[in-house]
Structure 1
Amino acid sequence: MSDKRWQNYDMTVNGLPQKVRYNADTVEGLFLPLLHRLTKRQREADRRILVFLAAPPATGKSTLLLFLEQLSQERADLTETQALGMDGFHYPNSYLETHFITRGGKEISLKSVKGAPETFDAEGLAAKLAAAKAGATPWPIYDRRIHDPRPDAMTADAPILLIEGNWLLLDEERWRSLRALADFTLRIDAPPALLRGRLISRKVQGGLSEAEAAAFYESSDAPNVERFAAHAGAADEVWRMEADGDFVRAAR
């Protein structure tokens, strides 16, 4: 029987109250020490710093960064952080529907592989990150009500900006230049079988049958999971997601 001290935490996600569950020992032994290290780095630099969190789908990275943001705001000994996502840099659907790539010898629309690296404006993301490092700057979000990005929906202006996304550390052309903009990088790894189960469960909860969810995973999610595992790139620190959703720091 697990002796982990699971605890529910009250958060606001997308403007709505929500409870999230984390291991209290992980909060004390992993999350808070990270925030203390980032606080020290930001205060020594005496400027805004950028922190990248790269993680595959279904690792809860967006919620995790919002939780870290909340922790930083609740404690006077921590510098304020702000959680930002790279999903606002998806190309709009109008672009995805009219641009194509070749996969498996077939030409397919970018819309059919939405979420893959090719469906993001990596150059626009790089320019926005550079601007955010220099000063307060408008930041786009991905609006799930319209399934399209919404430009300049918020302002990136905290002393520590936490940016999450699948491809921030991707070791491929168009993406490698991003790393130089980061002051600290964190990567979360997870076994593909665990991610498969979590992603299929997410689709079933959304209304798909088990067979439909499995088929969607194989056609859409699996290539991204495999690409992340093969090309995620190195990071200053690596965490591992465990089967129960907890996080541990990976051995160097």
Structure 2
Amino acid sequence: MTGTFPDLVNRARSLVAGGRRAVLGIAGPPGAGKTTLAESLLAALAPRPPAGLAAGSWVAHVPMDGFHLADAELDRLGLRELKGAPDTFDGWGYAALLRRLLDDRDEMIYAPGFERVLEQPIAGAIGVPRQARLILTEGNYLLLGDGRWAGLREVFSEVWYTDLDPAERLRRLVARHERFGKPPAAARAWATGTDERNATLIAGTRDRADLVVPSALLCSLGADPAHGCLS
């Protein structure tokens, strides 16, 4: 566990002591605040680099979501209705990208992004310049450790687990699905079905994390009320 958001910021900054490149992973179930935490860290860290590094470009955010398999491939595999499950991502490609980032040889590396309205990966959407020393990445299966996720853990300097209250997590998930086009009944069915099965699997990886970020801290992030938690 950790105390405050500034504690997290300082801990993240310390990972690049000496100017080395490091990858900080943020894991957790769907709707647990992984992206909000990563974006909050990015905003806090970017203007306050360690000594010798330039503000802004020293930290980058590369989400795992860009490694969703495209719907055409999910249809070919018969996995469209399981979208979001471990075998509906290119876990091997994700690991290869992170290892390439750690190799620290290329002036610019492009990572895929994910378009939530289309629910499709977008190639070449995120540029990571050579000067980026800290790579923030977040996704469901960073701690899974088997199948296409085997060996992934070794690329991270640390992995943090977002432990949001389950009722609040469900509320956020349903709201997210509605925001991106699902009718209310379908949004709740997906959140309590496919998403919940994945969440149960991910919860089993919690003890492998270097740090657990508690619900109260996650609820405090974000200026917009949608990032708060219901009392």
CA contact (8 A) 2:145 2:152 kept: no
Residue 114 (structure 2) pairs with residue 142 (structure 1): yes
TM superposition shift of 1:233: 5.2
Name the structure where strand makes up a greater proportion of residues. 1
When the two chains are superposed, the root-mean-square deviation of aligned CA atoms in Å is 2.5
Instruction: Give unpaired runs (5+ residues) of structure 2.
Output: 222-231
- Do the aligned residues in 1 keep the contact of 2:163 with 2:214 (CA within 8 Å)? yes
Q: 1:115 aligns with which of 84, 90, 97?
A: 84
Whether the aligned pair in 2 keeps the contact of 1:172 and 1:231 (CA below 8 Å) is no
Q: Taking CA–CA contacts closer than 8 Å with sequence separation of 6 or more, which of the two structures ends up with the larger relative contact order?
A: 2
Alpha-carbon offset, residue 245 of structure 1: 2.0
Equivalent pair of 1:54/1:164 in contact (CA under 8 Å): yes
- Report if aligned partners of 1:186, 1:235 keep a CA contact under 8 Å in 2: yes
| TM-score, scaled relative to structure 1 | 0.74
- Report if aligned partners of 1:187, 1:235 keep a CA contact under 8 Å in 2: yes
Structure 1: give runs of 5+ residues left out of the alignment. 1-25, 100-108, 248-252
Counterpart position of 2:133: 159
Paired residue total: 210
In the alignment, what sits opposite 1:71?
A: 44
Cα-to-partner distance string for 1:52-103 (whole Å, 9 max, x where unaligned): 000211122212212211111222557632111001111111111110xxxx
- The answer to whether structure 1 residue 84 and structure 2 residue 84 are counterparts is no
Query: Is it true that 1:127 corresponds to 2:96 in the alignment?
Result: yes
The alignment's TM-score, normalised by the length of structure 2, stands at 0.80
Q: Is 1:220 aligned to 2:198, yes or no?
A: no
Q: Which one has a larger percent helix, Structure 1 or Structure 2?
A: 2
One-letter amino acid of the structure 1 residue matched with residue 199 of structure 2: V
Rounded to whole Å, the distance in 2 between the matches of 1:243 and 1:182 is 23
Partner deviation per Cα, 1:185-237 (whole Å, 9 max, x = no partner)? 11112343332233223345556565443322233211112111124451111
1:49 aligns with 2:22: yes
1:120/1:35 CA distance change after superposition, 3 Å: same
Q: Could you tell me how far 1:147 is from its partner in structure 2? A: 2.3
Identity fraction in percent: 31
- String of CA shifts for 1:161-195, please: whole Å, max 9, x gaps: 01000111114332131110111111112343332
Q: Using the TM superposition, name which of 34-43 and 165-174 deviates more.
A: 34-43
Structure 1 position 230 matched with structure 2 position 204: yes
| Larger Rg computed on CA atoms | 1
